[in-house]
């Protein structure tokens, strides 16, 4: 036999020879790590120096080593903090990559049985190649993508669990191709099957590796006997699947290693999502850099003028001339001094800004995970990134799926309709909610009969059905029987069996299919199981063997599924096509005489009623086939199934010709109940100023009723306040009137623009998929967005996954809004990845949405916690952190600038280089990090009780030009105070010590530097709303760090580090005047901030101040000593409803002034339309 051949770029397929491993194709080794021991240092450094900030500080380090411009004696002191920051990032990257290496090693070292020579031997996964013959045993994972050849099952079936691929734990059935299974033979042992398969001269021709999990096309050519066998995804098991319920299966590797479908799907998304606040920080960095350049240029010009003026040149003690006694070139002096000042003022841009934000956000996500209020059935909130924490506090639009997101995705067979007759009593939960919102009387559901038959996922009560099925002479009996038989035959459900071999239930990829199958079972039509030819159904004590001649699967284009069944009934063989699908699809394929029949019209009216009840509907139809029709179809079908290119399209074209002239069997109604607290969550988000949209594939009537039940829509809309764009309103004679829709769109858009100017909002808009497709066209987008802008909500029905993503991207682009998308299924992935923040619900539809999301939760109601609580907290914390980082560097750098102003801008330093370079990473790092991780302005309950607090993030109240300039102005004032009070008291010959010695510049600089550290750390306390021992510890550690570093450079340990600072610590601590300077300067610096906050709180209170007043006024129980989360609890108001001593700092002013100004009592504050200040 020839070796396996790889398809070249010119070829369209891959050719694999059985038992002939092709080592020119990649092996089965998996590598998800980014680095190796050799590449880590160069590659990581290259990645880190792609960041502009790191390049900027590297440039400064190079400047420090140039003799003409250095201010550090050519010692690159900035390398200390730069190396620290780079090492911290490198350590984080190394730890993450070490985990990847560990995971890769565990994966690659797994063992599987593979044919080696003439026997099966254990082999590592990484040693497999394309063409390897592999045996996978029960409960083992599949090592590569395999085409099945044989199994221990007598029909060649394999049951697999695909949780690693899509998160679904229900079993799916795969099978060896029937013809191939017969060639290999049915064997009792895997050794016999392996030997039989290895004797075949077989070539598998298949498509090139791709990422599509649910498609595969190929042909197997067997030379003896000469046969060609079609294979598809039903005959393939993918890497990562687990084999269940059979002893072993045998397969040949067709895709290995990085070419397996699971690995091709695990490629990372291009680029990472960057929050809007990070963009704001980038712009603030450019602003500060511009200020720095201007200040350096002013200082350089002043220095050049000073050093080249004739008057100063005459003062020989200034040493302003060159070695020959001549004046230096003014321009050269300007350039040198400019770079001198660039080095002196380099800390205007905080070197630790990015790493501080990254570590703060990394620590924040622990509290997302540990929040007990976001745990459901043992599933925690799972942050998959920390980059977007603050983005959760600024969301303006929420785009939500319906099924599995707003609803439970637990389907119950509730009602059905056959020939216009409806079966099933009672009112659905959604209908009940709608009627209550409309103020109508809702009858209590009838009591459940104690002896009533109970079947999982069936909630259908109607005594008429049992009576009808007993009376075979009833005129409706045959129709209902055909309907229930259809339910039991047309599906892909797999029966599950317990350890004793007794059937315990059904497993299906879709909960709808399982509910329908349970519904048939409930009324006596039980699906028993499958074999290679078809399936078995029991009814009235008899088992009917149904041969499935062809299965035409559901896809998003067809929106229907069909089977061709052959079975005997009353001694006569029947050939029947069973088809089920969406009503719009089935109605088009009915026979002409049935389209307009009375029964069909009644059924369509019933379908509308089902939709209004919030039920998920499905139409069932069938037709009798002749043997000639079936033979002709199967010939064309088999020919299409042999194609390796465009196989699905060709098979769809063949099926289109068969699925015509159908007869309606009936309509099903499946109930999917709302999740807990959905309505309350949506109401809170609406109060927070967030627009919630629903994008669903359901019918218009169902979506509207879900909208009413959840509170998105009013039960009884006012005229002209709910624009409706439904396809049926724009169809005439079966043709869609696109021009009429465009005209209506423009008219409504003009009304919306006028209403928007009048500040009058529409209640909401409802639009279906076909109308949306036209609205999303470029020439209609402006009108569509104008309507959306003036709507409190928008409900899009019958939309495709592609349309969901397009809507999200359009609103992002046109409204410049921060968007969030939430969903639970594969059809939601597009919009989740398109939104600024993607939330995946870990539900019953698998992990597809969860795997592409930024944050994972298990219930829709947790959205209020992740946005209104944690998101809002994180936005405030990170915004204040970013502004504070620039503020504290202004406070530190400006005293050096002021020193230049009083010394002719000579370039003289004020601080010791060691202290100066560790300012950001040691002396001011801990307090702000504690704040950024733990601080809470109000308790969790208050955040949920007053959703209006969220508006601060939505309107970016904590991070904008005005606020940032306010922080910079505060930094300027604090810098002035911290420099000039010590300078005026201690310099110019003023004596502060008892020994009568004058103070040098380094002692003054030490006092100034201590004041800078003290004032900036105390400024954090002024922003803190909850004081606790961790805050106190952080402050103490920062001051202790200063004491230790100052003591070290002062030589307290007996070694001279720098002669200028030797003994400075003793002089600082031994002078009462310095204590007075520190107290006076600190009080004077912070007094302005305290008064500004007091005035704002007393005379211009925001809603935040009012809520804080309310919290303080309420009687609060003692803090619970036990942590709320069961581990390290997040300290703060989450467990202390009084808000803590930080809030009490302003307690009286908040409670009395807010009450006085708003005309309310401190106990019940009225939260009026007060904006954040």
DSSP string, 597-651: -HHHHHHHHHHHHHHHTTEEEEEEEEEE--HHHHHHHHHHHHHHHT-SSSHHHHH
Alpha helices in 791-922 (DSSP H): 801-815, 829-834, 848-852, 863-864, 872-901, 913-917
Spatial neighbors of 347 by CB under 8 A, at least 6 apart, are: 889, 892, 893, 916, 919, 920
CA dihedral sign, ordered 927, 928, 930, 934: positive
Q: Quick check: 634 and 589 in contact, CB under 8 A?
A: no
For residue 749, how many C-alpha atoms fall within 13 Å in the half-sphere facing its CB? 14
Q: Quick check: 536 and 544 in contact, CB under 8 A?
A: yes
Q: Quick check: 762 and 752 in contact, CB under 8 A?
A: yes
CA–CA separation, 482 and 464 (whole Å) = 17
Tell me which H or E stretch contains 229.
Answer: strand 226-232
Spatial neighbors of 585 by CB under 8 A, at least 6 apart, are: 558, 559, 560, 619
Q: Quick check: 742 and 730 in contact, CB under 8 A?
A: no
CA–CA separation, 1048 and 406 (whole Å) = 62
Q: What is the largest CA-CA distance in the chain?
A: 127
Facing residues of 250 across strands?
Answer: 135, 150
Q: Quick check: 631 and 591 in contact, CB under 8 A?
A: no
Tell me which H or E stretch contains 856.
Answer: strand 855-857
Q: Quick check: 1125 and 372 in contact, CB under 8 A?
A: yes
Residue that is written with structure tokens 């709303």 in the block: 1025
CA–CA separation, 30 and 107 (whole Å) = 8
For residue 998, how many C-alpha atoms fall within 13 Å in the half-sphere facing its CB? 7
CA–CA separation, 701 and 709 (whole Å) = 12
The closest of 966, 1107, 919, 787 to 348, measured between CA atoms, is 919
The closest of 405, 613, 404, 665 to 512, measured between CA atoms, is 404
The closest of 404, 633, 427, 614 to 510, measured between CA atoms, is 404
CA–CA separation, 326 and 807 (whole Å) = 72
Query: CA gyration radius for the chain?
Result: 37
- The verdict on whether omega for the bond into residue 225 sits within 30 degrees of 0, i.e. cis, is yes
Backbone angles phi, psi at 564, to 5 degrees: -100, 115
CA–CA separation, 1091 and 973 (whole Å) = 14
The closest of 256, 262, 206 to 231, measured between CA atoms, is 206
CA–CA separation, 866 and 884 (whole Å) = 25
Alpha helices in 149-275 (DSSP H): 163-166, 178-184, 190-198, 261-265
CA–CA separation, 432 and 424 (whole Å) = 16
**What tokens were used for 1009?**
């530097």
Q: Quick check: 134 and 18 in contact, CB under 8 A?
A: no
What is the helix, strand, coil percentage profile of the chain, to 5? 50, 20, 35
CA–CA separation, 692 and 289 (whole Å) = 40
Give yes or no: 401 in active site. Answer: yes
In the chain, count H helices and then E strands: 43, 35
Three-state secondary-structure class, residue 204: strand
Q: Which of 22, 27, 401, 935 is catalytic?
A: 401
> Which residues are designated catalytic?
401
């Amino acid at each position: 036999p020839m070796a396996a051949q790889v398809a070249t770029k010119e070829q369209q397929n891959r050719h694999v020879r059985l038992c002939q491993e092709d080592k020119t194709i990649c092996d089965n080794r998996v590598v998800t790590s980014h680095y190796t021991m050799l590449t880590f240092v160069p590659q990581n450094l290259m990645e880190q120096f792609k960041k502009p900030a790191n390049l900027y500080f590297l440039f400064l380090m190079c400047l420090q080593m140039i003799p003409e411009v250095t201010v550090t004696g050519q010692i690159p002191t900035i390398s200390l903090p730069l190396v620290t920051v780079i090492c911290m990032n490198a350590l984080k990257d190394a730890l993450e990559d070490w985990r990847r290496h560990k995971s890769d090693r565990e994966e690659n070292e797994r063992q599987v049985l593979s044919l080696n020579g003439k026997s099966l031997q254990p082999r590592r996964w990484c040693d497999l190649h394309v063409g390897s013959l592999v045996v996978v045993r029960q409960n083992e994972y599949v090592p590569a993508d395999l085409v099945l050849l044989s199994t221990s099952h007598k029909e060649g079936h394999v049951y697999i669990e695909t949780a690693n691929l899509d998160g679904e734990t229900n079993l799916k059935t795969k099978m060896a191709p029937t013809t191939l299974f017969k060639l290999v033979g049915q064997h009792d042992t895997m050794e016999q099957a392996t030997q039989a398969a290895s004797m075949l001269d077989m070539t598998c021709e298949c498509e090139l590796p791709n990422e599509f999990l649910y498609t595969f096309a190929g042909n197997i050519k067997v030379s003896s006997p000469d046969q060609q066998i079609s294979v598809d995804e039903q005959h393939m098991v993918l890497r990562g699947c687990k084999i269940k319920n059979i002893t072993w299966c045998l397969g040949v590797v067709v895709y290995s290693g990085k070419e397996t479908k699971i690995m091709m799907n695990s490629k990372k998304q291009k680029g990472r999502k960057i929050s809007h606040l990070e963009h704001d920080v980038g712009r603030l960095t450019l602003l500060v850099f511009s200020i720095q350049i201007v200040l350096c240029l002013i200082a350089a010009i002043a220095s050049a003028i000073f050093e080249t003026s004739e008057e100063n040149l005459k003062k020989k003690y200034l040493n302003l001339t060159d070695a020959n006694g001549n004046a230096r070139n003014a321009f050269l002096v300007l350039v040198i001094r400019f770079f001198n000042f660039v080095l002196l003022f380099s800390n205007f841009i905080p070197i630790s800004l990015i790493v501080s934000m990254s570590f703060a956000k990394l620590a924040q996500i622990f509290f997302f995970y540990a929040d007990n209020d976001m745990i459901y059935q043992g599933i925690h909130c799972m942050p998959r990134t920390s980059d977007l924490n603050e983005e959760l506090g600024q969301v303006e639009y929420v785009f939500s799926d319906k099924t599995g997101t707003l609803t439970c995705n637990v389907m119950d067979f509730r009602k059905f309709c056959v020939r216009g007759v409806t079966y099933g009593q009672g009112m659905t939960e959604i209908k009940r909610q709608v009627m209550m919102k409309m103020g109508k009387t809702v009858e209590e559901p009838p009591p459940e009969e104690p002896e009533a038959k109970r079947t999982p996922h069936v909630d259908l009560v109607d005594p008429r059905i049992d009576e009808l099925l007993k009376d075979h002479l009833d005129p409706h009996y045959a129709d209902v029987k055909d309907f229930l038989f259809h339910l039991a035959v047309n599906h892909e459900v797999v029966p599950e069996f317990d350890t004793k071999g007794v059937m315990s239930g059904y497993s299906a990829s879709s909960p709808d299919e399982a509910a329908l199958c349970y519904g048939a079972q409930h009324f006596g039509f039980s699906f028993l199981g499958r074999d290679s030819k078809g399936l078995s159904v029991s009814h009235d004590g008899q088992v009917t063997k149904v041969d499935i001649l062809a299965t035409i699967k559901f896809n998003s284009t067809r929106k229907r599924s069909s089977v061709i069944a052959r079975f005997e009934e009353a001694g006569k063989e029947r050939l029947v096509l069973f088809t089920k699908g969406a009503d719009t699809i089935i109605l088009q394929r009915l026979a002409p005489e049935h389209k307009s029949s009375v029964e069909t019209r009644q059924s369509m009216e019933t379908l509308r009623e089902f939709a209004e009840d919030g039920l998920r509907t499905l139409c069932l139809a069938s037709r009798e086939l002749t043997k000639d029709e079936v033979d002709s179809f199967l010939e064309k079908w088999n020919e299409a199934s042999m194609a390796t290119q465009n196989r699905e399209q060709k098979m769809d074209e063949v099926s289109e010709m068969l699925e015509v002239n159908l007869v309606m069997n009936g309509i099903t109604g499946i109930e999917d109940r709302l999740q807990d607290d959905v309505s309350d969550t949506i109401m809170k988000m609406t109060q927070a100023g967030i627009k919630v949209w629903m994008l669903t594939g359901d019918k218009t009537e169902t979506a509207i009723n879900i909208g009413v039940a959840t509170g998105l829509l009013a039960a009884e809309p006012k005229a002209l306040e709910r624009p409706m764009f439904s396809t049926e309103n724009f169809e005439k004679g079966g043709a869609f009137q696109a021009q009429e829709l465009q005209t209506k769109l423009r008219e409504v858009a003009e009304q919306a623009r006028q209403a928007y100017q009048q500040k009058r909002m529409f209640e909401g808009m409802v639009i279906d998929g076909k109308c949306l497709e036209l609205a999303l066209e470029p020439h209609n987008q402006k009108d569509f967005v104008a309507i959306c802008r003036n709507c409190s909500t928008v409900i899009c029905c019958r939309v495709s996954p592609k349309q969901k993503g397009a809507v999200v991207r359009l609103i992002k682009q046109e409204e410049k809004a921060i968007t969030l998308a939430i969903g639970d299924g594969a059809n939601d992935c597009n919009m989740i990845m398109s939104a600024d923040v993607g939330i995946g619900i870990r539900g019953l539809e698998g992990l597809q949405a969860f795997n592409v999301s930024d944050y994972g939760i298990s219930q829709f109601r947790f959205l209020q916690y992740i946005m209104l609580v944690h998101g809002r907290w994180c936005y405030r914390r990170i915004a204040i952190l970013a502004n504070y980082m620039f503020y504290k560097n202004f406070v530190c750098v400006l005293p050096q600038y002021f020193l230049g102003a009083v010394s002719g801008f000579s370039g003289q330093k004020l601080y010791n280089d060691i202290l100066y370079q560790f300012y950001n990473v040691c002396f001011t790092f801990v307090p702000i990090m504690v704040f950024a991780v733990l601080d809470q302005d109000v308790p969790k309950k208050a955040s949920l009780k007053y959703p209006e607090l969220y508006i601060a993030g939505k309107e970016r109240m904590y991070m904008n030009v005005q606020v940032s300039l306010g922080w910079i102005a505060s930094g300027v004032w604090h810098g002035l105070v911290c420099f000039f009070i010590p300078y005026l008291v201690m310099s110019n010959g003023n004596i502060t010590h008892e020994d009568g010695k004058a103070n040098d510049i380094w002692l003054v600089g030490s006092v100034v530097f201590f004041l800078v550290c003290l004032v900036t750390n105390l400024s954090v306390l002024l922003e803190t709303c909850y004081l606790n021992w961790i805050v106190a510890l952080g402050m103490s550690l920062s001051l202790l760090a200063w004491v230790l570093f100052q003591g070290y450079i002062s030589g307290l340990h007996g070694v001279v580090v720098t002669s200028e600072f030797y003994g400075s610590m003793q002089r600082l601590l031994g002078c009462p005047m310095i204590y007075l300077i520190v107290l006076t300067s600190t009080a004077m610096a912070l007094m302005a901030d305290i008064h500004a906050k007091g005035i704002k709180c007393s005379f211009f209170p925001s809603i935040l101040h009012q809520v804080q007043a309310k919290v303080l006024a309420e009687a609060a129980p003692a803090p619970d000593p036990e942590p709320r989360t069961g581990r390290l609890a997040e300290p703060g108001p989450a467990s202390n409803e009084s808000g803590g001593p930080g809030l009490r700092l302003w307690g009286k002013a908040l409670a009395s002034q807010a009450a006085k100004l708003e005309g309310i009592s401190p106990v019940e504050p009225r939260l009026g339309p007060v904006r954040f200040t």
